[in-house]
């Protein structure tokens, strides 16, 4: 098949961007002819076409309604490439819902990978950093998530998004949680979990001699890294030699470094910055656990699945897609979202060897996840959706 992939590309690439880059490779390995069109400030090194996108909030006020650069780019690649089908991932930040109209002649599957199409701030987080369980509407303004001018601006945009989603032939999402949230917002979808890559042949676990935790993800409000830092401070009371490695970049990088200094954690916390997927794998070698302290309900949480596949126990939050991949007490432990005290207690259980005393998980459990989330099965499911 000739398949066109279309996706926003965020300035600080995370799991969604890793997935799209991997999907392009897996589809080609399956014999498909694949093109990738992205929009954003940055783009993948091996992207075929990148159209204009910006993080400037003033420009986004117009471009998130209709991005003419994206519309022209999609029309051009449809004319030249003549795809049999298209898969659209993120589109509400940079590409705009108008790209789905530009694809009206192409059978299209929309992959709902985040909340931006149903939430104006994209995270379903209220100002007090609790999870919103209401469909978008007047509540977005009344709860203080957006100003009245932004709410008014968003009305035509969300009308366009609803219309655009109706044009899609199929809608898929990565977790049962995401499927439930979409249904509550009037969007029916099929759950197609994201695939997990197998460990590289060079990867070998070598847990550190002292408690070592790794956190991988975009440094933004919804990821809860500030909660992790405060919880880790409590853990150090009993385990002064514990280490925390934070892998990733994002808008809160400077703020989180200042918080680390104020908590007197600079000697125990390392910020590595953005890393390639191969380099991220290397950071897991000595980890006692991967920590995913997300405040929001992760749509899927690829970093958790990647860690489990490599035999690394995880500590993650309960609400969201993590529950689809973590076998409680077997491959990881789940704590309430945003609960600093419970997170600290759970990290202390790992540091004290009350949980996962060998700093690993049963190989059979890791293999179950690898088989259930194999790229081959994922491509087969997408092929079925695209052919239908």
The answer on 378 and 359 residing in a single domain is no
pLDDT tens digits, one per residue of 132-180: 999 989 999 999 999 999 899 888 888 888 888 887 889 999 999 999 9
Task: Report yes or no on 275 lying in a domain.
Answer: yes
The answer on 377 and 319 residing in a single domain is no
The answer on 111 and 66 residing in a single domain is yes
Mean pLDDT of 196-209: 94
Task: Report yes or no on 99 lying in a domain.
Answer: yes
Burial environment of residue 100 by CB neighbours within 10 A (0 to 12, 13 to 18, 19 or more):
buried
Mean pLDDT of 205-219: 96
Q: What is the mean pLDDT of the chain?
A: 93
The answer on 232 and 190 residing in a single domain is no
pLDDT tens digits, one per residue of 20-42: 999 999 999 999 999 999 998 88
The answer on 137 and 188 residing in a single domain is yes
Label residue 277 by pLDDT band (50, 70, 90): confident
In the predicted structure, residue 13 carries a pLDDT above the cut 80: no
Task: Report yes or no on 204 lying in a domain.
Answer: no
CATH code of residue 12: 3.40.50.2000
The answer on 116 and 104 residing in a single domain is yes
Structure tokens at 286: 């000595």
Instruction: Give the strand pairing for 108-111 and 85-88.
Output: parallel
Give residues with Cβ within 8 angstroms of 30, minimum separation 6: 379, 383
The answer on 349 and 250 residing in a single domain is yes
| DSSP calls for 238-305 | H-TT-EEEEE---TTHHHHHHHHHHTT-TTTEEEEES--HHHHHHHTTT-SEEEE--SS-BSS-HHHH
What does the pLDDT read at residue 316?
Answer: 98
pLDDT tens digits, one per residue of 51-109: 999 888 888 888 888 999 999 999 999 999 999 999 999 898 899 999 998 998 999 99
The answer on 382 and 356 residing in a single domain is no
The answer on 336 and 246 residing in a single domain is yes
The answer on 7 and 152 residing in a single domain is yes
Instruction: Give the strand pairing for 212-216 and 190-191.
Output: unpaired
Residue 273, phi-psi category: left (phi > 0), alpha (psi -120 to 50), beta (remainder): left
Task: Report yes or no on 118 lying in a domain.
Answer: yes
The answer on 158 and 19 residing in a single domain is yes
Give the total number of structural domains in the chain. 2
Determine the structural domain holding residue 319 and report its residue range: 212-371
Task: Report yes or no on 308 lying in a domain.
Answer: yes
The answer on 351 and 230 residing in a single domain is yes
pTM confidence score: 0.90
């Amino acid at each position: 098949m000739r398949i066109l992939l279309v996706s926003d590309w965020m300035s600080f690439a995370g799991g969604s961007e890793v997935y799209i880059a991997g999907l392009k490779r897996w589809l080609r390995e399956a014999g498909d002819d694949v093109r990738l069109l992205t929009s954003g400030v940055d783009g993948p090194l091996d992207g075929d076409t990148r159209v204009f996108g910006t993080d400037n909030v003033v420009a986004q006020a117009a471009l998130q309604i209709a991005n003419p650069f994206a519309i022209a780019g999609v029309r051009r690649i449809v004319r030249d490439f003549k795809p049999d089908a298209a898969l659209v991932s993120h589109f509400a930040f940079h590409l705009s819902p108008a790209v789905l109209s530009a694809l009206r002649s192409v059978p299209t599957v929309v992959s709902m990978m985040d909340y931006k199409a149903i939430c104006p701030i994209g995270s379903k987080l209220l100002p007090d950093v609790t999870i919103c369980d209401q469909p978008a509407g007047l509540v977005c303004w009344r709860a203080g998530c957006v100003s009245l001018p932004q709410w008014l601006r968003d009305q035509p945009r969300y009308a366009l998004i609803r219309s655009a989603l109706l044009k899609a032939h199929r809608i898929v999402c990565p977790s049962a949680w995401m499927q439930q949230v979409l249904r509550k917002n009037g969007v029916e979808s099929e759950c197609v979990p994201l695939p997990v890559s197998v460990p590289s042949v060079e990867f070998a676990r070598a847990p550190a001699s002292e408690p070592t935790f790794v956190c991988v993800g975009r440094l933004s409000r919804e990821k809860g890294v500030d909660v992790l830092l405060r919880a880790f401070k409590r853990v150090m009371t009993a385990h002064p030699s514990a280490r925390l490695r934070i892998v990733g970049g994002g808008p809160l990088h400077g703020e989180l470094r200042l918080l680390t200094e104020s908590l007197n954690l600079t000697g125990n916390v390392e910020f590595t910055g953005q890393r390639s997927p191969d380099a991220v794998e290397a950071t897991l070698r000595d980890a006692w656990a991967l920590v995913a302290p997300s405040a929001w309900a992760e749509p899927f949480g690829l970093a958790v699945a990647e860690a489990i596949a490599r035999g690394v126990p995880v500590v993650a939050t309960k609400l969201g897609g993590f529950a689809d991949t973590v076998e409680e007490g077997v491959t990881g432990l789940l704590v309430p979202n945003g609960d600093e005290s419970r997170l600290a207690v759970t990290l202390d259980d790992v540091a004290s060897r009350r949980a996962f005393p060998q700093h690993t998980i049963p190989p059979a459990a890791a293999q179950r996840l690898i088989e259930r989330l194999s790229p081959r099965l994922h491509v087969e499911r997408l092929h079925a959706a695209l052919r239908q």
